[in-house]
Amino acid sequence: MKPALVLSDLHLSATRPAAVEAFHAFARGPAKQASAVFLLGDLFDWWLGDDQLSDPLAASVAASIRSIADHGVPVFFARGNRDFLLGERFEQATGARLLPEQHVVALAGVPTLLLHGDELCTADVEYQRYRARIRTPRAARRLLALPYFIRRVIAWYLRRKSRDANALKPESIMDVSDDAVADAFRRHAVARMVHGHTHRPARHAHAVDGVTCERVVLADWHDRGHYLEIDETGMREREIAG
């Protein structure tokens, strides 16, 4: 049986050419041998709206995703905190399908909750308030109505503000909350969860109402490409370079 491949936090941009090349290599090779590919947010370092597809880098990434889909491999993507403005035009260009914020899918027969993961960081109250404001349909419409160059300035400002604020926060605040994790396991009635966002790759065991649940945190693509391979024999972390 072909494996499902799950990845997150690529943060593709012109300033990270190695990560971009690693993604193209992923699309040419492992992705086309998969049963499905799940991109769990922050595919791009920042997405300013689907008119960004006119950018050469964005167009090349979209073309690579389209090549996976055209090969007969279903591709699914979730919005992350950096690319929550991904929309219908991106779906059409790539042949991929947008997932809801939290999505349960059977991977190798095991019901698995997939999500980006930033909503689990509930101890960071300031971020959650910002997230609640910026992720509404009304806020998205207002942002997308602005000229592209103004959205670029806003993105630069928000990125700098976030970097400065995070430097002052305790590490524990920017990680997931155990209570939020347990609530997600209960809500979806699953015993396995895969997410990204925190850039802290690991496997965690959680006791939820007497049941041992597994949480897998995906690696970011800071130094090289990383993805999780899941089939009936288990889960394996893989790496790829450009």
**Domain-wise residue ranges, the chain:** 4-240
Model confidence at 174, pLDDT cuts 50, 70, 90, reads confident
pLDDT, tens digit, 9 for 90 and up, residues 7-18: 999 999 999 999
Structure tokens at 222: 């800071």
Q: Is residue 132's pLDDT more than 70?
A: yes
Q: Provide the whole-model pTM.
A: 0.94
- Residue 167, pLDDT score: 46
- Residue 97, pLDDT score: 97
> Which residues, other chains included, contact 113 with Cβ-Cβ below 8 Å and sequence gap of 6+?
102, 103, 104, 184, 185, 188, 190, 192, 193, 194
Whole-angstrom distance, CA of residue 185 vs CA of residue 213: 8
- Residue 66, pLDDT score: 98
The CATH homologous superfamily to which domain 4-240 belongs is: Metallo-dependent phosphatases (3.60.21.10)
Q: Is residue 173's pLDDT more than 70?
A: no
